[in-house]
Chains A and B, each alone.
Chain A
Amino acid sequence: MSQSTLRSAPVRDGNSRQVGFMRLVAVEIRKLVDTRSSLAIFAVLAVIAVALVVGLAVFSTGQGTPVTFTSLAGSIGLFTSLAMPLIGILGMTSDMAHRTTLVYYPLLRGRAGQFWAKVLAAALLAVALQLFVFVLSAVVAAALGGSAAGQFEGAGQELWDGLAACLLSTMFGVALAAAIRRTALAIITVILVSLVGNGLILTLLPDASGYLSTITALGALMGGPGAPTALEVVSSLTLWYLVPLGIGWWITEKSEA
């Protein structure tokens, strides 16, 4: 900023060029991984995933249990259910936490595009992490089982269930964070609701738990005789996903940045 370098910023063409939705998504993905702290979080999640998969493989081998892709990928569901909401929360609250909405909102015509770009960015990153877990599980299973028959039996269903569970978990974090807008409070809420809330609902309102629990949709994915009804799934999704997401969208549109 020396006095001798005084000159105009170059005038650029393209003032008629609107910011497309996919560009917004790309920016939001970059914002999720471009700081040391965010990279550290993803590195830690990746290390935990590796440790879990390898640990399970070693344990299963020690027990004489066959190690398959399905057993590995399916056994780290708890990790997925805790890690994925975290990605969703960070994706939704980072701008609010650092007040960077003051930077980004004036650049755009409206806020809705950025809100939904955050939702999609968090989902895409979560899917990427889930795919990493799948690839890791496949490599370990192949390494330990060789070309044994049945090593990858049921892999297609596991991939589908895993990705659906990943998206449900991520969107749970996204939706609550959208409504709460505070990183720490959203994390605490997700943990409390997941670990305590569901248990309380089951204890106090056993007949209505299917309608009120956060994990009804996950239960539907697993299927089986105790699988929830479609009405219970719709109720749970509305209560824990659609309503908070709608509240978050409304706040984003109406709030002062």
Chain B
Amino acid sequence: MGLASEAVAGISFAGVTKAYAGRNVVDSVSFDCPPGSITGFLGPNGAGKSTTLRIAAGLTRADAGEVLFDGRRREDLESPGRTIGFVLDPTALHPGRSLQETLKLNAMLLDLPHSAVAEALSLAGLETVRKKRVGSLSLGMRQRLVLGMALLAGPQFLVMDEPTNGLDADGALWVRNYLKHFSAQGGTVLLSSHLLRDMQAVADNIVMIDRGRIVAAGTAREFSVSTSTKAAAVEPDRLADVCTRRGWTFHLSGRELYIDAAPEDISRACLEHMVVLTHLSNVTESALEEKFLALTSGEFSSRNNTLEQIR
């Protein structure tokens, strides 16, 4: 991950800026989404994620900067619809059209064979409801349709805004597995979400945005090594002493220690030094959340509200 440059393969954001009423909602956003990987774009509500993705899709014009796909602007691609699959707003579909007709229109526009529609319906699990009108579908089913539309042309890039929103557990799992599969085949994925679980499950790289600015970027591993193991001991001081001797970084939170070491290494060391552990768990999953909460405040955050204010 580094600053975007024209020659970078995959998706590159270079100094993308957008202001409304004199206020930057996207402010000099630069990052790369390498090919063959999933880049998680994480931020609280109102952080500028959707605006950034809308700029990538050509729906919103940036005041400055550009988005490049394999070094080319979207509008310079011969057929953007065949090259990039966008999953944006599942409510932006004509309610009077059937699912099949909605896909057929896209296939017709992109000069795809008739079989592409059937394949997309099958891929999205919508064959049995293909003749239903979009207006009669649940949000989850619309989300599946939008996914089917994005995958219709077999694109090289996927740009997705909250793709698991509204999906049931099975659907969400399918999306996560599909994205891994897609990136393993060399595809480039930019996945925007405020759901940390999605990011933890699939992202290879993470870009965090807050109030329009990138506040952190790195590999998913980099986001999860700082507090990898939570441990509690009968004598916390002795546990801290063991950590110091082993050269492990740690911090104390109450009677618990967050240690930068694998649980099995801590367990072995405690056994050697006769330190009795009362708790030992891998807290890799919460590391991202902690970092997210630490780095983002979010314009619409309710974190600072007191219980009295909430009441």
Contact = CB atoms under 8 A, between A and B. Distances in A.
Bind each other: yes
Given A2-B174, A6-B181, A102-B92, A107 B81 contact: yes
B181 A98 contact: no
B170 A16 contact: no
Given A30-B105, A99-B89, A14 B111 contact: yes
Nearest to B95: A98
B88 interface: yes
A207 interface: no
Contact of A35 (B84, B96, B120, B181): B96
B105 A15 contact: no
A103 interface: yes
Interface residues of A, number: 45
Nearest to B146: A103
B308 interface: no
Contacts of B119: 9-10
A38 B133 CA distance: 14
A106 interface: yes
A173 to B, nearest CB: 20
Interface string B96-135: 1100010001101111100010011011111000000000
Contact of B154 (A9, A26, A257): A9
B299 to A, nearest CB: 20
Contacts of B173: 3
Contacts of B19: none
Contacts of A34: 97, 101, 105
Contact of A1 (B80, B86, B125, B154): B125
A63 interface: no
A38 B96 CA distance: 9
A10 B91 CA distance: 26
The majority secondary structure among interface residues of chain A is: loop
Nearest to A109: B75
A26 B109 CA distance: 9
B108 A30 contact: yes
B301 interface: no
Contact of A8 (B109, B111, B122, B182): B182
Contacts of A105: 57-59
Interface in A203-224: none
Contacts of B156: 15
Interface stretch (A17-25, A49-57, A127-135, A186-194): A17-25
A178 to B, nearest CB: 19
A149 interface: no
Contacts of A15: 77-79, 82-83, 156
Given A3-B173, A14-B111, A19 B75 contact: no
A105 to B, nearest CB: 6
Given A107-B81, A109-B77, A19 B110 contact: yes
Contacts of B123: 1, 5, 7, 9
A103 B149 contact: yes
A34 B82 CA distance: 23
A26 B110 CA distance: 12
B154 A106 contact: no
Nearest to B147: A1
A5 B178 CA distance: 10
B144 interface: yes
Nearest to A114: B109
Interface string A28-40: 0011001111100
B85 to A, nearest CB: 8
B152 interface: yes
Contact of B79 (A17, A37, A38, A256): A17
Contact of A12 (B61, B144, B154): B154
B92 A12 contact: no
B259 interface: no
B21 to A, nearest CB: 14
17 contacts: A3-B177, A9-B155, A17-B78, A18-B78, A19-B110, A30-B108, A34-B101, A35-B97, A94-B94, A102-B59, A102-B92, A104-B109, A105-B58, A106-B57, A106-B59, A107-B110, A110-B75
Given A3-B173, A37-B96, 11 more contacts: A1-B123, A5-B123, A8-B182, A9-B119, A9-B120, A15-B82, A16-B78, A99-B89, A102-B57, A102-B59, A107-B109
Interface of B: 54, 57-61, 74-84, 86, 88-89, 91-97, 101, 105-106, 108-112, 116, 119-120, 122-126, 144, 149, 151-156, 170-171, 173-174, 177-178, 181-182, 185
Q: Which 4 A-B pairs have the closest CB atoms?
A: A107-B81, A1-B125, A35-B96, A9-B151
